[in-house]
Amino acid sequence: MKIVNQNIQIDGIDKKILRALMNDARTPILEIARQVGISGAAIHQRLRKLEKSKLISGSKFVIDPKVLGYTTMAFVGIYLDKAISNPDAVKQLKKIPEVIECHYTTGDWSIFIKILSRDNEHLMHLLNNDIQSITGVSRTETFISLAQQIDRQIKI
């Protein structure tokens, strides 16, 4: 079975390569080649094709924020007084290192962010002093995550 998109075709071999790298991006190419049954050069060629299609965009190390003392994760819905305030508000949110995701949304909020803080007191400081003071922000609604129960990418 092939997944076909206007930009790329993914076959079974591509899927095996992607699954191996999604499981551990540090897996050596030659190990993947042995598992898949093709040459290391063919793996490299297929990876270049997948990168060129923008299906994959590099790899990254994942840092555990709890090790750095960030134990509180929260989601904050941000209400803006006007939609035109969005670009400036996002520009200000980018300056807050604890904001790790920012989404322009439909529904009640204009912006929905994911934020990491050391504790509830730090979260309150971020909300009161950094986020709610942004020009255009009329109010916020905060949800503290008690536990992340699912963390995954889309299945290939």
> What are the sequence ranges of the domains in the chain?
3-52, 65-145
CA 79 to chain centre: 22
Mean pLDDT of all residues belonging to the chain: 93
Q: How far apart are CA 115 and CA 70, in angstroms?
A: 10
CATH classification number, 65-145, choose in 1.10.3720.10, 3.30.70.920, 3.20.20.150, 3.40.50.2000? 3.30.70.920
CA distances from 44 to 18, 49, 58, 122 (A): 12, 9, 13, 45
**Residue range 3-52, CATH number:** 1.10.10.10
pTM of this prediction? 0.83
Instruction: Tell me the per-residue pLDDT of 8-48, one tens digit each, with 9 for 90 and over.
Output: 789 999 999 999 999 999 999 999 999 999 999 999 999 99
Q: How far apart are CA 7 and CA 23, in angstroms?
A: 24
User: Which residues in the chain come in under a pLDDT of 50?
Assistant: 1
